[in-house]
Structure 1
Amino acid sequence: MGDVIMRRLCSLFIAAALYTGAIVPADAAQKWGIDGEMIAQFEAKVVDLLCELSGDCPASCGGGKRQLGLVRDDGTLLLAVKSNTLFAGAALDLLPHCGERVEVDGLIISHPAMVIYMLQRLRKPGDTDWVRATAFAEDWKRRNNTENAKRWFRRDSISGEVIRTFGKVGRPDIVPPPSE
């Protein structure tokens, strides 16, 4: 009798957890603890945002020099602003799929001013294997002839110049002293 009750309680607990979303598949996107975040896995078309908004549409979504986004089946345009690499966008991960449909896994961050998408993984519809959104880190390592992109932003010459010019918070009056 106790075994039956235990199985029913376990089944009830699992059903309640699934209903409330407390159990997430092990291969799903990871939450980051951001207000308004929601795990979101869906199919969408990869687009050049400027093209979508203004009609200025160069070939190949601007060849990696433009911000890319995702258009969902209901017509919703999402800015894909983050990848799995710290302080890096998702454009290089999405660029090979310009104009194509992809399945994405990540976080939608809803804020009254804007809704954005933080890409963690992607794949072509129907594929079984996910690809982690780390193209920026791989590209940075290649361009900088190094094996390690960890904390790339502290070693990047372009980022360093921007920080020296505009400060860490984008204000020129808060410029750190030159490093020696």
Structure 2
Amino acid sequence: MIQTETRTRYAIAALAGLAILAAPHGARAAEAWGIEHEREVKLTGKVVDLLCALRIGSDPKAADAKDCPPDCGGGRRQLGLLTGAGKLHPAVKANADFAGATVDLAPYCGRTVEVDGLLIANPAATLLMVQALRTDPKAAFVKADRFLADWARQNGKAEEWFRADPKVKAAIAADGVFGIRGLEPKP
């Protein structure tokens, strides 16, 4: 009888612990991809235009309209996250294959966001893979996958966007699949 009660108490405690771990507040949306040097992170920082951030460094007076457009380049420039500690993290990937995070981050240019994703801390370069983001710490994370919807709206639906993209096709036609004219894959 005592053994049964003890087992029941342990089971209840284990279930309560699992419920606490599964609670949505502060839940992590990041999913490991198995990349060397990766680690799941939540980072808070200001969305910045990387070219502008590198150009001005710690001197905001060094900026000019050419280097630092007010809308972070209107979706045509690489974006990143500048933390309160002054660390700049280039956001190079979102959830869509072969697509960057610019489409997801551009609406937040100059604003503070919390990003949930992977930090690839390779000795050669540290890169941020954005998987989800939010502006309010109490809100749920929003998946960083706007690229595919935007691309489909402009180009129509495709099984693999990168094989159907007119810009990709034009680049391959001009420079080959390796990006070097005349260099062809072996049959």
2:85 to 45, 51, 74: 74
Amino acid across the alignment from 1:115: T
SS of structure 1 residue aligned to 2:74: helix
- Bigger drift between 77-86 and 26-35 goes to 26-35
- Asked if the contact 1:43–1:72 (Cα under 8 Å) also holds between the matched residues in 2, the reply is yes
- Asked if the contact 1:64–1:95 (Cα under 8 Å) also holds between the matched residues in 2, the reply is yes
Structure 1 position 162 matched with structure 2 position 171 = yes
- Asked if the contact 1:43–1:125 (Cα under 8 Å) also holds between the matched residues in 2, the reply is no
TM-score by length of 1: 0.80
Size of the aligned set, in residue pairs, is 163
Instruction: Name the residue aligned to 1:98.
Output: 109
- Asked if the contact 1:64–1:91 (Cα under 8 Å) also holds between the matched residues in 2, the reply is yes
- Asked if the contact 1:81–1:118 (Cα under 8 Å) also holds between the matched residues in 2, the reply is yes
Q: Deviations over 1:131-165 (max 9, x none)?
A: 11112111101101x2x354100001111111222
CA distance in 1, matches of 2:90, 2:111: 16
RMSD over aligned CA atoms reads 2.4
- Rg (Cα) greater in structure: 2
- Asked if the contact 2:163–2:169 (Cα under 8 Å) also holds between the matched residues in 1, the reply is yes
Amino acid across the alignment from 1:46: V
Instruction: Name the residue aligned to 2:130.
Output: 119
**Judging changes above 3 Å, is the alpha-carbon distance between structure 1 residues 31 and 65 closer, same or farther for their aligned structure 2 residues?**
same
Instruction: Name the residue aligned to 1:21.
Output: none
Q: CA deviation at 1:172?
A: 2.1
Q: CA deviation at 1:166?
A: 2.5
Q: Give unpaired runs (5+ residues) of structure 2.
A: 57-66
Amino acid across the alignment from 1:162: A
CA distance in 1, matches of 2:32, 2:143: 15
Query: Runs of at least 4 residues of structure 1 off by over 6 A?
Result: none
TM-score by length of 2: 0.77
Q: CA deviation at 1:2?
A: 4.8
Instruction: Name the residue aligned to 1:22.
Output: none
Q: Give unpaired runs (5+ residues) of structure 1.
A: 19-24
Q: CA deviation at 1:128?
A: 1.4
**Judging changes above 3 Å, is the alpha-carbon distance between structure 1 residues 126 and 27 closer, same or farther for their aligned structure 2 residues?**
closer
- Asked if the contact 1:164–1:175 (Cα under 8 Å) also holds between the matched residues in 2, the reply is no
